[in-house]
Structures are given as structure tokens and as C-alpha cells.
Chain A
Amino acid sequence: MAAPAALAAPRPGLAARTADALWRRPGLTLFLMLTPPMLWLGIVYLGSLFALLLQSFFSIDEFSGLIVRELTLKTYGELLRPANFDIIIRTVTMAAAVTVAAAILAFPIAYFAARYARGRWKALFYLGVMLPLWSSYLVKVYAWKLILAKEGILTYILDGLGLMPVLELLLSVPVIGGTSLSVSYIGTFLVFLYVWLPFMILPMQAALERVPASLIEASGDLGATPGQALATVILPLALPGVVAGSIFTFSLTLGDYIIPQIVGSSRLFIGQAVYAHQGTAGNIPLAAAFTVVPIVIMGVYLWMAKRQGAFDAL
């Protein structure tokens, strides 16, 4: 048999010729691959975002209610009015409270899953966190509407245990209390905590998995009590995971407008304010300025988190 040619001629056909052309120009190939997603995200998403930010520098004419298309910081000044500033403070306080509570609740689950669960149990734990995380947001909120309702299961259980006076005492606390759980900040807090908790568990577990058991045993060898090992070894090493998880709990709480609308008092959160201003009030500039608040807070937060090395735990 005659030896075949050392270099084959290009195969016929458009596909083969295109493949050759793309092989010769890797830069072009990369460009072609990136163009569709970058066009989409760049134009649809970033374009909209910039248009929105631009509008926050417009203002609204108080008499006609029309948008004045001149750059001004007037709308931002409006943000600092006591009524609006209260909304910001309220939302950030809620986000912080939810984050701290989520970290506390998440820790035993994450720690158990990372350190003690094996094989099947590990898969079960993982699914046990993943399913609530991915399952319907509205259904989860709805479930809490059922739970917190006056005639609902929580009242039934507390009543059965004779703990109703405790609940009433709690609800009589000014600010966080109210006539019932479903119209109080406590209720809002519980739902936020429930809905965002899985977002804290997963990164925390990822961070804890990286703490070698030998490290904990070493601290035991050196005479640390389990409590000391927890405080001096495990918690500091879990911190990047907590920070990563808090990015979610914080950001999601800041931007949510549905939970406080369904469970909570009538006092607004940032999300509700944005929704109200862009909707019936038609004050797009103020709504836009409000959205800048979570963007700035999250920007600062992400920057600090990055310095903590939290992104490795994502």
C-alpha cells in the first residue's frame, strides 16, 4: 500500500472550511463565541441598568408630575428625607438581623454535614438543603402565611402548650410587635430567615469542609476544650463561608418587596418603596435612586468580602 500523504488536503464542504478558518483565527473564534452572550447581557441587562441609574439623576416636577430630564442630585436629596431614610435604615437593620440569625441557625447543619455526615447521609443532607433552596419562593412564603395566621398551626401549638401569654408578651413589645405575628416585624423576620436560610448553609458547609479534621484534633491535642476549639479554630476558618452566605442573605433581603408586603406591618422596605414609586406614583427617578442604595451597599459589602477571601467559598 502506498504511504498516505503526510498532510491531508482540506475536506470539502462548508463546515470543514469554516472549521479551518476558525482554527486559524483563535481570536475570531473567541470573539464569535462571546458576542451573543455579551450582546445580550451588555445591551439588555447593562443597558437597562445604566438607563435606570441615569434616571436617578433626573427629578420629577412636583406640580405636573412629569420627569424633568436634567441631571440633578435633587432626587438623592429626597432619599435623605426622614420618611425615606427610615425605610433604608429599617431595611438594612432587617437584613443584618436576618443574616446574623441565619448564620447561627445554619452553623449546626453545615457543621454536622461537613464533619459527621458520610455517604448516604451526606447526600441526604445536601438534598435536604438544596430542595428548600430551589423550591418555589412563593410557595415558601405562602406556607408561612398559613403558619402565622391567627387561626393557624402556630397559635394551635402554642395554645396547646399553654404558651400563648409568651406570644402575647412578645407581640406587645413596641416596634417589633403588633396585633398578630402575621402583621409584625417578627413575622417578616421569620419568613425572611426561613426563605434565605439555605443560601447561608451551603457556602458555610463548603468552607467547613475545607477545615481538615486534623486541625481540630490538633487543637484538642494542645489542650483546647471543644468550646475553645470551636471558638479559636472552627469559627475563624468558617468565617469566609459565613461572609459568602451573608452576601446572599443580605442582598436578597435588601431587594425583596414581596415578603414584607404579605407578612408584616404596613411600614415600607426598600423594595416596596421602589415598587410603589415606579408604579402608581410614577416617580421613576426616586424609584431609581432607591435601587442605588442596595447596589451601593452590596458593592461595599462585596468589596469587603473579597478582601476576606469569601469568594473561594462560593
Chain B
Amino acid sequence: MTTAVLFRQVSRHFGPVRAVDAVDLDIAEGEFFGMLGPSGSGKTTCLRLIAGFEQPSAGHIEIFGETAEGVPPYRRNVNTVFQDYALFPHLNVLDNVAYGLMVRKVPRAERHARAEEALAMVKLAGYGARRPAALSGGQRQRVALARALVNRPRVLLLDEPLGALDLKLREQMQEELKALQQSLGITFVFVTHDQGEALSMADRVAVFNEGRIVQVGTPQQIYDRPRTRFVADFVGSSNVLPPALTRALGGPEAWASLRPEALRLTAPGAGRVSGTVAGLRYLGAATRIGVAVEGATLAALLPAGRPAPTPGEAVGLDWDPAALHPMEAG
């Protein structure tokens, strides 16, 4: 498998701030790759390093095996969908989409034909004559997508692609983006702070924290086997157990993660551990139950429709031993 983007010990410092700190990264061709992390974790800077808007302070970047340092963004066959879409306000939709072809001196008729094609691909056929200002947020995003894809990039970068859309539209666009990526076979790299978005769209996810990549893996790996407390906490919400508690619950003496949905309520004494219900939070599809156990509170998810206990009630908790996942201290 070809490597599309490769980072070796890449750092980007802004004065004393280490926005990206010794990052190694391998993104395979045709992959839908997510970069997930809180704001300021370095994920967007990594995206800008791939696009060429930033240059590494140290380290080495390759794009399809070619050295990328010192290559300006306009000579990289990499295109970006910007967070604010960055549509040119003085051009209509068609000319926006055709912009990349225009600066590459593609003849007018051909570039308009290709731009129309790209617009059709994002379901905006017939919108070419409009001004970006006359479009809705979702439509603008499709234009931005068409404008990037019309250049047939080897890598498409998406910066918080769904951040500005409302919930319903976001879910729809997640599916469309995924379908588009599969049909085009282009490498997609996207940045998000929304763990649900990362898990649902990406083939693989890199979790960023404080300028470093904490873990790379498939969504299942990231979710089920978080490597550190940070990942366990940031991706989904997990019960993060200190070493003593892990030991008390039958694991090794190490930090561990135990997902709330892996916990089952039983009669007191029937499970692996017993405790009392400390609180309930109704979430719709499930109820989140806090159970006081061994001096800590564990969260358990009770699917809707099951009889819920009342606060103060004694209950037991049971789980599959494999769900108790020990982690590195980090």
C-alpha cells in the first residue's frame, strides 16, 4: 500500500509554543483519516503542514514519497476545504469551482464543463450562476467541496468540515462525505474536535493532545482499547480507574478504562462488585446510572425500557473481564 502522507518527527513551534511536537504519521493512499483532539492540540497545524500553509520547524514530511518541505501550497496536489469555506465573494459559484483550473490555464470551455460536473457531484447542478452569499451554509460547504475536488487532488484536506452545520445536516453530510470518498478513492484527511464525527467517518483516527499524537488506530481500537487516560476520557466518556481501583476490581495494578455500556446492573452480590446507586441521568436511549463502588463512582448505561433503580438502592455490577482495559499512565 502506498503512503500518501508521511510525517517523521515533525515539529512546528510558534515562539515558545510547541503547536506540533515530534509527530510521526503515516496516512495510506485511499484512506479516510481523522485527526481528533481538543482545540490547541495541534491537529489543525498538522493539516496546514500537509497543505503547505505552515512549514515544519523540524522533521520531515513526504507526500506520495516526495519531500514536501519548501514546496509552496500552490504546487502541492493537495486541496483543502476550509472551516469557513473561504469561497471567493467576488466570483459566482461556477467561477469559484473553476478557480483552480483557471489559474492552471485550462481552456474556458473545458473548465466550465468540469466545474459543472463537480457541482453535479455535490448535488448543486444549476447553482453555478449564484453568488456564494446567496447560498445556505450547507450549500456553501458543497461548493467548497466541489472547488477542491475539481482539481482531482491526491489528498483532500477538510478542516472541521461539519463544524458550522446544524445537527441534522451534519449527520447527512457525514454519510455523503463517506460515500463520496469511497467512490472517488481519494485520500481524505479531516480535522475535528467531535469524537462522534471522527468515529463515524474515519477509517483510522489519530488522537492529538498538546501537540503530540497520543494514539492512532481504527475507531474500534481507539474506543475499546484507549492507550491513555486522555484518550479514554476524550473519546466517549469512560470510567477511568486509578491503579488501586483496577486492582480491587480484579485487574492488574494499572490505570484502566471501563466503558459505561460494558457494565450490567445485577442484584446486589450477584455481580463482580456491589455498590449503591448515587444518581441517575435520563439520556433518552439510555439512562446513565452512577454507582458508588469502593470509594469511587462508576457510570453504567442502562438501555431504555429496563426498570431503573432508585437512588440509594443497593445494586451489583457485572462486566466481561475483557472490557476492563489497562492503559499506559500518560
Given the contacts A4-B77, A6-B66, A20 and B72 also touching, CB distance less than 8 Å = yes
Closest B residue to A5 by beta carbon equals B77
Choose among B68, B70, B76, B154 the residue that contacts A24 (Cβ–Cβ < 8 A): B70
Interface size on A, residues (CB 8 A): 11
Choose among B70, B72, B77 the residue that contacts A6 (Cβ–Cβ < 8 A): B77
Would B77 and A8 count as touching, CB distance under 8 A? yes
Does A3 make an interface contact (CB < 8 A)?
Answer: yes
- Residues from chain A with a CB closer than 8 A to the CB of B180 are none
Does B75 make an interface contact (CB < 8 A)?
Answer: yes
Interface size on B, residues (CB 8 A): 16
Would A7 and B77 count as touching, CB distance under 8 A? yes
Does B8 make an interface contact (CB < 8 A)?
Answer: no
Main secondary structure of the interface of B (DSSP, over half): loop
- Residues from chain B with a CB closer than 8 A to the CB of A112 are none
Does A174 make an interface contact (CB < 8 A)?
Answer: no
CA distance A3 to B152 in the complex (A): 9
Does A23 make an interface contact (CB < 8 A)?
Answer: yes
CA distance A23 to B65 in the complex (A): 23
Min Cβ gap A26→B in Å is: 10
CB contact list, A267-298 vs B, under 8 A: none
Would A7 and B152 count as touching, CB distance under 8 A? no
Does A162 make an interface contact (CB < 8 A)?
Answer: no
- Residues from chain A with a CB closer than 8 A to the CB of B75 are 7-10, 20
Which of A7, A9, A20, A24 has the most chain B CB within a 10 Å cutoff?
A: A7
- Residues from chain B with a CB closer than 8 A to the CB of A20 are 72, 75
- Residues from chain B with a CB closer than 8 A to the CB of A23 are 72
Does B155 make an interface contact (CB < 8 A)?
Answer: yes
Closest A residue to B186 by beta carbon equals A3
CA distance A209 to B25 in the complex (A): 52
Would A7 and B70 count as touching, CB distance under 8 A? no
CA distance A24 to B72 in the complex (A): 8
* A residues at B contact (CB < 8 Å): 3-10, 20, 23-24
A and B contact pairs by CB, cutoff 8 A, 23 listed: A3-B154, A4-B77, A4-B154, A5-B66, A6-B4, A6-B66, A6-B76, A6-B77, A6-B78, A6-B154, A6-B155, A7-B63, A7-B64, A7-B66, A7-B75, A7-B77, A8-B75, A8-B77, A9-B75, A10-B75, A23-B72, A24-B70, A24-B72
Q: Which 9 A-B pairs rank lowest in CB-CB distance, beginning with the nearest?
A: A6-B64, A8-B75, A23-B72, A6-B63, A6-B154, A7-B66, A6-B77, A7-B71, A4-B77
